[in-house]
Amino acid sequence: MTGSALAYLFPALGLVFGAVVGSFLATVLIRWPEGRSPIAGRSRCDRCEALLGPADLVPILSYAMLRGRCRRCGAAIDRRHVIVELAAAIVGIVAFVAHPVPLAIVSLALGLWLLLVALLDVEHEWLPDLLTLPLIPLGLAAAWAGFGPPLPDRAIGAALGWGVLFLMAAIYRRLRGREGMGGGDPKLLAGIGAWLGALQLPFILLGAGLLGLAAILLMRLRREEIDAASRLPLGALMAVAAWPIWLIVAR
């Protein structure tokens, strides 16, 4: 196979793999916060509970072919399925365009992990330990394997990531008498620091801040009410800011 053919093959594989994993991530996003297992039982229509066959479960394509409706009862399919599948497919393409194999596989895994973290935080204001804490050993393991910034920088990044946000939260709570951020945010930044290193933490927080300002501007354009009690999902903002930076600094 020629080099030009490989240049198209790997992004295509990233697209397919990302979309397939995205289908699972959408199921996790919908079921997990409700206390349901994302892996137990076969997929069913949310309304008529008819079992879904292989033709109903092809990521992105099934939704398009069925025009977003169940083929049996005509009920609308939850749009989160196709949205997450599309987002994960984009992550797959970008990972394989940005990096060669095997680094592309590592970048894809991190991107999909952070995608689920961001979605859970946006929709449920929830950063489960089961997703945030494993980022620390996985990031350090990736450094040990030679992917991304050096291991000492990332070990320091994990410690600083947790310490900085924990201290900020404590100061805010002391001054304002109420919580300013969730307990999962310091753990997430520790995990991100374990992947990107201490030197990138300022850029992650800066990126999250800029994304937050963009979100506020969008809310104002949509005439949504914004006051001192309004909350932005800091974890999601950090996750979205972190992955592009990883694509730049990883090697």
Nearest 5°: phi and psi at 172? Answer: -60, -45
**pLDDT reading at 54 higher than 90:** no
Please report, to the nearest 10 degrees, the dihedral formed by the alpha carbons of residues 54, 60, 65, 70 taken in order.
Answer: 60
Summarize the confidence of residues 76-98 as an average pLDDT. 95
* 3-state SS, one letter per residue, for the chain: CCHHHHHHHHHHHHHHHHHHHHHHHHHHHHHHHHCCCCCCCCCECCCCCCECCHHHCCCCHHHHHCCCECCCCCCECCHHHHHHHHHHHHHHHHHHHHCCCCHHHHHHHHHHHHHHHHHHHHHHCCCCHHHHCCHHHHHHHHHHCCCCCCHHHHHHHHHHHHHHHHHHHHHHHHHHCCCCCCCHHHHHHHHHHHHHCHHHHHHHHHHHHHHHHHHHHHHHHCCCCCCCCCCCCHHHHHHHHHHHHHHHHCC
pLDDT for res 180: 64
For residue range 95-147, what is the model confidence (pLDDT) as tens digits? 999 999 999 999 999 999 999 999 999 999 999 999 999 999 999 999 999 99
pLDDT in tens, 216-237: 898 888 877 766 556 789 999 9
Over 90: is that where the pLDDT of 73 sits? no
Residues 188 and 235: beta-carbon distance below 8 Å: yes
pLDDT (0 to 100) of residue 103: 96
pLDDT band at 5 (very low <50, low <70, confident <90, very high): low
Mean pLDDT of 197-223: 92
Query: What share of the chain in percent tops pLDDT 70?
Result: 93
For 162-182, what is each residue's pLDDT tens digit? Answer: 999 989 888 877 777 666 677
